[in-house]
A and B are shown apart, each in its own frame.
Chain A
Amino acid sequence: MRGATHAKWAACTVAVALAATACGGGGGGNGGGGSGVLSSSWGDPQNPLEPANTNEVQGGKVLDMIFRGLKRYNPKTGAAEDMLAQSIDTSDSQNFKITIKKGWKFSNGEPVTAASFVNAWNYGASLKNNQKNAYFFGYIDGYDKVHPEDGGKQSADTLSGLKVVDDTTFTVKLTQKFSTFPDTLGYAAFAPLPKAFYDDHAGWIGKPVGNGPYQVQSYAKGSQMSLRAWDGYPGSDKAQNGGVDLKVYTDNNTAYTDLMAGNLDLVDDVPAAQLKNVKSDLGDRYLNTPAGIIQTLAFPYYDKNWNKSGSDKVRQGLSMAINRKQITDTIFQKTRTPATDWTSPVLGKEGGFDQSLCGAACSYDPGQAKKLVQQGGGLPGGQVKISYNADTGSHKEWVDAVCNSINNALGNDKACVGNPIGTFADFRNQITQKKMTGPFRAGWQMDYPLIQNFLQPLYYTNASSNDGKWSNKDFDKLVDQANRETDTAKAVGLFQDAEKVVRDNMAAIPLWYQNGSAGWSNRLSNVALNPFSVPVYNEIKVS
């Protein structure tokens, strides 16, 4: 009798153990690597989840998991590598012939063809679809017809520069020479879309279908998205875990608390308030690496005060009056790196990052700063006001610190003050309406790891994100030359020459590079952040 009871106990234990592993295996049946599911913090995406409509990190995170485009940026080096692209050929840097690999499918079984790309790009560019990333297709011939600049009626629905040749080939004609165009194709906006996207748009938005290593299992808007590894994924970067549950947190402090309590596996944004404890809390389960984000101070060049002879000296003086190292150490707890150029360390030396490009103009030198400001005719109106939005991002702290640093260097208590603006929308509004009268905070998160992306959109005459309306013929000429140049190394060199023009005029004051941070539970290993500061989910291993 006793023996029988023992046997029963043993059987139960085994059953329980089996059940437990089954649960850990990702809800059964769809665990790609057969291993566990991890949970990760998330924020509510601001826009509907469409590839060409997603311009912030939270939505981009999902797109990176469920989509693979022609190219993919290497999570370590940031280099653009072929993914779905078999070849991208060009002889003149303006006409491209793109061949895609065979055998790729969307997770609903539809094959990925040349038309999947062409239709998706046409959809993204078309004005009537309100896609916020439409400007990515601006280089393609016919963009002005499907997306008229003046907002008038569009005279075509498809880009004339895109032609499907056969199932696996299509051609792209650009409006100008753009040698690094193939390298931009890793951006999410260029992802292919299945027919289901157009046939049942609302249904697709509710549960997106892509061709990446993960597929969406369920999506409760505003609270949670469950992604599971997709067994049929043909790529070489298969998911190393069973899936990821993205949980929306209202506050990153709560996410961190949940991580501490063992309720969450991965936090990809360690709150500033916890930075002091993070080393003792997590030990080596914490990561803090530079991302492709640079913070600068931009100037309103439409204001006469900032666009007269000598004002470049004033700007240089201000730059030298900022003690970047002290501010990044104390205010940001070393989660920012003092800037030494106008790009980002994630580009690497070959990509155009230069640790000495800004040189003396970006190092703290109060004596020289004071001299330069005086030579330049002093501060316009005797005072600079640095504008920032006060609602998110705790910008007040660093703006006050920058002002303090300037005031100390110039020996004037009132040389610099912060100018908070209530909401981000209002801040952006005042910028677009050219209402700024002094320097204002500007942040740039790269779209793709190219030096071109750090310069052209920001400083080219009338470029999309040239908020200060800076304009310089030499700069424009060098950028045009660089875009024409087919040799990558030479192109990078020309872009750096253009960057030197930015430096000599101090078009914007570079402040620091932003780091990405992550903390994780001891269930996880192989956690890394890509150059966009998004965790490389498919490589994370769950024990």
Chain B
Amino acid sequence: MGRYVLRRLLQMIPVFIGATLLIFLMVNVMGDPIAGLCGDKQCDPATAAQLKREFGLDKPVWQQYLTYMGNVFTGDFGTAFNGQKVTELMATAFPVTIRLTIVAILFEIVIGITLGVITGLRRGRPVDTSVLLLTLVVISVPTFVTGLLLQLLLGVEWGWIKPSVSPDAEFGELIVPGLVLASVSLAYVTRLTRTSIAENRRSDYVRTATAKGLPRRRVVVRHLLRNSLIPVVTFIGTDIGALMGGAIVTERIFNIHGVGYQLYQGILRQNTQTVVGFVTVLVLVFLVANLLVDLLYAVLDPRIRYA
């Protein structure tokens, strides 16, 4: 097991370098960021040159990349154009997005798996059909439609929630945005769990457990669910990264100042430091989440542990 973890950690290095290099090149291809800093006016050449020097933009790209990576390893992610340290931006943005992601993941786990188990055990019954239909609707409606509709109904028409989230972005405020963000994945989790449960329900070990006279609850939770969760865990694991990076639509609708917002601003202002910094951290989150998923397999299925 220890060796397995070590190998996985080593694998992360090339992925990390490749991903950051790609992003670095992509942002660089978009042109000279200083040109956009002075609005519709032209920066005077002297100031522009000075700014370029300060941000290191006058050097060749490979050199910029090397300096940047060197700095990253000492914890220095550079400075955004508005004079703020990128680490400072991260310190304000990531906690918010992490809270939003936690809310979304909790919805996925609690509602998604519960619905999945219920429908999986009652395949073909009315409950199953109606949940299947519901998930189909959720999957087919784009997130921004759900988001805007909920915002309009709950926020403006009925006044149950505030349409926008305050800068503090406490858990309570994030429930509706979290639900919106989770909606599509939630539907997938339901469907995955349902299929998996339905499949494993007829397997030998479940029949044995039932024959042993174990209570139904124990059979379902300890035997059936534990084995059926493997595909679901894989999905949720990769979804963590996707939710954090892909929350941009939801964050825009509910005015949440998280990672998506900072990335959007960074791209609009073509701020290499912000974009690469945030993407670097997101890549790390993806990698760690994947590692955790692989480790969780072993917990769920002892056969994998010894393989």
Contact = CB atoms under 8 A, between A and B. Distances in A.
The answer to whether A and B belong to the same complex is: yes
Interface of A: 44-48, 55-56, 127-128, 130-132, 134-135, 147-151, 205, 220-224, 247-251, 254-255, 257-258, 260-261, 263, 391-392, 422-432, 442-445, 457, 464-465, 467
A254 B35 contact: no
B270 interface: yes
Nearest to B96: A223
B156 A254 contact: no
A148 to B, nearest CB: 6
Contact of B82 (A45, A55, A260, A445): A45
A226 to B, nearest CB: 11
A225 to B, nearest CB: 11
Nearest to A138: B44
A89 B89 CA distance: 48
A257 B155 contact: yes
Contacts of B61: none
Interface in B60-95: 81-84, 88-89, 92
B167 A47 contact: no
Nearest to B261: A250
Contact of B43 (A132, A255, A430, A467): A132
B268 A134 contact: no
Nearest to B268: A391
A443 B156 CA distance: 36
Given A130-B50, A423-B268, A424-B36, A251 B252 contact: yes
Contact of B46 (A149, A432, A444): A149
Contact of B162 (A48, A263, A391, A428): A263
Contacts of B46: 127, 147-151
Contacts of A261: 155-156, 159, 162-163
A443 B40 contact: yes
B33 A257 contact: no
B252 A428 contact: no
Contacts of B155: 257, 261
B123 to A, nearest CB: 42
Interface string B176-218: 0000000000000000000000000000000000000000000
Interface of B: 30-47, 49-51, 54, 81-84, 88-89, 92, 151-152, 155-156, 159, 162-164, 167, 251-257, 261-262, 264-265, 267-270
A425 B40 contact: no
A132 B38 contact: yes
Nearest to A441: B40
Contact of B36 (A44, A48, A149, A425): A425
B25 to A, nearest CB: 15
A464 B40 CA distance: 11
A465 B41 contact: yes
B168 to A, nearest CB: 9
A224 B47 contact: no
A464 B44 CA distance: 7
B257 A222 contact: yes
B89 A47 contact: no
A507 to B, nearest CB: 17
Contacts of B37: 46-47, 132, 425
A151 B174 CA distance: 49
A220 B167 contact: yes
Contacts of A432: 35, 42
A48 B167 CA distance: 20
B82 A46 contact: yes
Contacts of A128: 50
Contacts of A247: 167
B151 A257 contact: yes
A425 B47 contact: no
Contacts of A430: 31
Contacts of A132: 37-38, 43, 47
A257 B155 CA distance: 8
Given A425-B36, A464-B44, A127 B50 contact: yes
Given A47-B82, A263-B163, A249 B32 contact: no
Contact of A442 (B40, B162, B164, B253): B40
Contacts of B38: 55, 132, 428
Contacts of A148: 46
Nearest to B154: A261
A130 B47 contact: yes
B77 to A, nearest CB: 16
A344 to B, nearest CB: 15
Contacts of B167: 220, 223-224, 247-248
Given A221-B92, A263-B163, 11 more contacts: A46-B269, A222-B84, A249-B164, A250-B252, A250-B256, A250-B261, A251-B252, A423-B36, A429-B36, A430-B31, A464-B42
27 contacts: A45-B82, A46-B269, A47-B82, A127-B46, A131-B47, A149-B46, A221-B88, A223-B257, A249-B164, A250-B255, A251-B253, A251-B255, A257-B151, A258-B255, A260-B156, A263-B164, A423-B31, A424-B36, A424-B268, A425-B37, A426-B31, A426-B36, A428-B42, A430-B31, A431-B35, A431-B42, A445-B39
Given A257-B155, A261-B156, A55 B41 contact: yes
B50 to A, nearest CB: 5
B283 to A, nearest CB: 23
A392 B252 CA distance: 15
A224 B165 CA distance: 12
The 4 closest A-B pairs by CB, nearest first: A425-B36, A223-B167, A426-B31, A48-B83
A423 B270 contact: yes
Contacts of A442: 40
B268 A222 contact: no
B30 A426 contact: yes
B260 to A, nearest CB: 9
A47 B163 contact: no
Contacts of A467: 42
Contact of B47 (A127, A250, A445): A127
Contacts of A424: 36, 268
Contact of A44 (B32, B82, B88): B82
Contacts of B267: 423
A4 B40 CA distance: 70
B39 A55 contact: yes
A222 B252 contact: no
A45 B84 CA distance: 11
Contacts of B256: 250
Contacts of A443: 40
B176 to A, nearest CB: 13
A48 B261 CA distance: 19
A47 B33 contact: no
A250 B251 contact: yes
B226 to A, nearest CB: 42
A362 B47 CA distance: 37
Nearest to B248: A250
B259 to A, nearest CB: 12
B89 A222 contact: yes
A392 to B, nearest CB: 7
Highest count of chain A CB atoms <10 Å: which of B37, B39, B43, B49: B39
A247 to B, nearest CB: 8
B92 A222 contact: yes
Given A254-B252, A257-B163, A392 B47 contact: no
B156 A257 contact: yes
A465 to B, nearest CB: 5
B164 A423 contact: no
Given A46-B269, A251-B255, A425-B30, A135 B44 contact: yes
